[in-house]
A and B are shown apart, each in its own frame.
Chain A
């Protein structure tokens, strides 16, 4: 039986089964507390980032030892300036983030290291402004507990320029991007410090944090438009 002959109803039923099964699996899995070993994290990072180094723990040392090499990774660490465990949200929002930028190879790891802050997303925050023409095509806000992701699509644009990605991340979850040929600059988003990235693929990406969550926004848009979206975030 060829795939194209499958009944549309059956195809949709199979898709629904796959979605529902995934949700059930995850819901069941959430009942169990689990933190991976450091050795697992190291192995996975080696696998994913192709570099046999535990980035999160030793990247500075690794950088010092390897900075002369052609292969270079950009590692950006959002480091929460305060180590105080009892701070108001307002105080956190005004805390100074040190953006440490080190050029390594082709990849970037972005993470914060603030264990005392929510390790899951308790308040989903989304943009209240999205430019005309974009339609939301995917929303994982309802299921991912450490990383929400919303994808918007503009059917009037070519596919390689049509997507707008927005993510909200728990502050201690890592995020990594390909930064080969990427330029970074500091930027202010509202009253928050952030970073702007100009990857060679032509889109613009923003990274910022309010001290409670980290945010990522990227699209083939003018910077002013992207900032307007970033500044429109509201809790739902």
Chain B
């Protein structure tokens, strides 16, 4: 299995990237995995698994973009650690009802989302379930497809799609709730003396 993955690191550039990632982030990834699993053996397994997943995606990593690389690696190792600790404690999977994507229009550039300050949006995203927000980041910030995200996070494509839909709807509901409020407070100010 290892040989299979190694055979995918077939360019000098990818090899350089992998070595740089190892040198710079391996220790931090271990710390993160350990803080999640509270078990050194499981942490080490998580990091090893994370590196294997990273190797599959070296072409997309821009090693010069430290912050994006760091975020990407930490998302992957966090999910590997969570997957490992859940493996022995996995609840019977719930048959989720397919959720309709009602709010996709709220994410687009020509809608009211641009009325919101970035820190407001960031604060709301921080309140979302981590796996939802991670999927959004991997898709929109890092440019991975649902299929690629599924491989990176060790889950199914349908789960990723469901998380993306749910995340989009959560954001949409947040924006929709906020927009009328904004208008209610803005209108009297604009109309001056009108009561």
> Could you list which residues of chain A lie within 8 angstroms of chain B, going by C-beta atoms?
1, 3, 5-22, 25-26, 28-32, 34, 36-37, 40, 43-44, 46-50, 106-107, 137-138, 140, 144, 146-147, 149, 151, 163, 173-178, 180
Contacts and interface: CB of A to CB of B under 8 A. Distances in A.
Interface stretch (B91-99, B137-145, B148-156, B177-185): B137-145
Contacts, number: 171
A47 B126 CA distance: 34
A147 B23 contact: yes
B128 to A, nearest CB: 9
Contacts of B78: 25
B9 A180 contact: no
B190 interface: no
A47 B113 contact: no
Contacts of A49: 19
Interface residues of B, number: 65
A18 B137 contact: yes
Nearest to B143: A3
Given A18-B75, A22-B71, A138-B64, A34 B43 contact: yes
B65 A26 contact: no
A2 to B, nearest CB: 9
B71 A36 contact: no
A163 B64 contact: yes
B45 to A, nearest CB: 9
B113 A7 contact: yes
Given A44-B22, A138-B65, A50 B9 contact: yes
B67 to A, nearest CB: 5
A12 B118 contact: yes
A13 B16 contact: no
A178 B141 contact: no
Contact of B113 (A9, A107, A177): A9
Contacts of B61: none
The main secondary structure of chain B at its interface with chain A is helix
Interface of B: 2, 5-6, 9, 12, 15-16, 18-19, 22-24, 26-28, 30-32, 34-35, 38, 40, 43-44, 47-48, 51-52, 55, 64-68, 70-71, 74-75, 78, 101, 104, 107-109, 111, 113-114, 116-119, 121-122, 125-126, 130, 133, 136-137, 139-141, 143, 168, 171
B189 to A, nearest CB: 23
B51 A48 contact: yes
B31 to A, nearest CB: 4
Nearest to B44: A40
Contact of B64 (A1, A18, A22, A151): A151
A180 B12 contact: yes
A20 B126 contact: yes
Contact of A40 (B35, B48, B109): B48
Given A16-B118, A44-B22, 19 more contacts: A1-B107, A7-B107, A7-B111, A10-B121, A13-B121, A14-B141, A16-B122, A17-B122, A18-B141, A29-B35, A32-B35, A32-B38, A34-B43, A36-B30, A36-B44, A44-B26, A46-B2, A107-B15, A177-B16
Contacts of B75: 18, 21-22
